């Protein structure tokens, strides 16, 4: 078991080095959330709403980690035949998946720590709720988004197609989180649908703990997130293919 964990760790480090050499991946992983934090604090968010910038940045970072970092990254490796090589090697598939998850999670946690540090030092904002609950929600939401990335890889094969689908879901996340269009202004049953997609409860859960709001509604949000996580995992493990 120790040898297996060591192999996962070594592969995760290798994947992280390759990932951080990619300028586009580096932008989405680190530069985009930091730029969003600074621009949100300085220009985009009104003064009375700037306490919401940090939870918004963290939520968006989790979404981009699953959609762009995981989905497009693995799709690119699959198109280049890397996954076929891994499949022909003694490396078990679960070790590759675990290494990918570990790699992306470590990078995400690094970005979250950097965002929290800048928010505290530069803008004097700090966590209002329980720190353990805050990190637990981040890990749960990250797992959900990484599983969503594997779902995209299950049904969409080409790198460009995966990237296009990821971008559409990314824009959808802006809508359902209420960032571009207030949910109550959506017609028919769309507000109800939007509130039950994973993006909205993720945003609400992160914001609730960050601001230290009463947690009456958070359990409903967490139940929705867990439901999506279980569904994504079942779909990905059943139909994901290593080859294009």
Q: How confident is the model at residue 208 (pLDDT cuts 50, 70, 90)?
A: very high
Residue 226 has pLDDT above 80, yes or no: yes
Distance, in Å, from the CA atom of 56 to the CA atom of 42, rounded to the nearest integer, reads 15
Q: How confident is the model at residue 184 (pLDDT cuts 50, 70, 90)?
A: low
Q: Is the pLDDT of residue 242 over 70?
A: no
pLDDT of residue 216: 76
Q: What is the mean pLDDT of the chain?
A: 83
Q: Which residues of 140-172 are buried (b: 16+ CB within 10 A; e: fewer)?
A: bbbbbbbbbbbbbbbebeebeebbebbeebbee
Give residue 209's pLDDT band: very low, low, confident or very high (50, 70, 90): very high
Q: How sure is the predictor about 229, in pLDDT bands with cuts at 50, 70 and 90?
A: very high
Which residue would you say has higher pLDDT here, 34 or 177? 34
| pLDDT for the residue numbered 2 | 76
Which H helix or E strand runs over 116?
helix 93-123
Residue 100: burial class (beta carbons within 10 Å; 0-12, 13-18, 19+): buried
pLDDT tens digits for 57-101? 999 999 988 888 788 878 877 887 777 777 777 777 677 778 888
Task: With H, G, I as helix, E, B as strand and everything else as coil, classify residue 210.
Answer: helix
Measured CA to CA in angstroms, residue 113 lies from 74, 83, 126, 130, 157 at distances of 25, 31, 12, 16, 34
Q: Phi and psi (nearest 5°) for 92?
A: -75, 150
The mean per-residue pLDDT over the stretch 181-206 comes to 79
- Confidence band, pLDDT 50/70/90 cuts, at residue 116: very high
Q: Model confidence at 24, in pLDDT bands (50, 70, 90)?
A: low
pLDDT at 21 over 80: no
Residue 72, Cβ neighbours under 10 Å: how many?
25
Mean pLDDT over 6-24 rounds to 76
- Predicted confidence at residue 99, as pLDDT, reads 82
**What percentage of residues in the chain have a pLDDT greater than 70?**
90
Q: Whole-angstrom Cα distance, residue 226 to residue 94?
A: 21
pLDDT digits 0-9 by tens, 122-168: 888 888 888 999 999 999 999 999 989 888 888 887 888 888 888 88
Domain ranges of the chain: 2-239
d(CA 30, CA 117): 14
């Amino acid at each position: 078991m120790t040898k297996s964990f060591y192999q996962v760790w070594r592969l995760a480090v290798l994947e992280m080095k390759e990932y951080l050499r990619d300028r586009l991946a580096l932008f989405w992983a680190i530069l985009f959330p930091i730029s969003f934090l600074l621009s949100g604090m300085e220009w985009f968010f009104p003064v009375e709403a700037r306490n919401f910038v940090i939870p918004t940045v963290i939520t968006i970072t989790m979404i981009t980690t699953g959609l762009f970092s995981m989905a497009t990254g693995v799709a690119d490796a699959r198109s280049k035949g890397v996954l076929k090589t891994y499949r022909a090697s003694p490396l078990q598939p679960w070790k590759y998946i675990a290494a990918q998850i570990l790699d992306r999670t470590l990078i995400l946690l690094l970005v979250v720590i950097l965002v929290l540090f800048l928010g505290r030092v530069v803008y004097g904002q700090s966590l209002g709720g329980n720190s353990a609950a805050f990190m637990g929600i981040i890990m749960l939401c990250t797992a959900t988004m990484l599983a969503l990335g594997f779902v995209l890889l299950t049904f969409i094969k080409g790198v460009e197609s995966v990237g296009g689908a990821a971008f559409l879901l990314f824009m959808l996340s802006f809508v359902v989180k209420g960032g571009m269009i207030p949910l109550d202004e959506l017609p028919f049953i769309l507000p109800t649908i939007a509130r039950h997609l994973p993006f909205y409860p993720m945003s609400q859960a992160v914001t609730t703990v960050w601001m230290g709001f009463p947690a009456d509604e958070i359990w409903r949000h967490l139940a929705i997130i867990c439901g999506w996580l279980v569904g994504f995992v079942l779909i990905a493990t059943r139909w994901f293919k290593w080859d294009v």
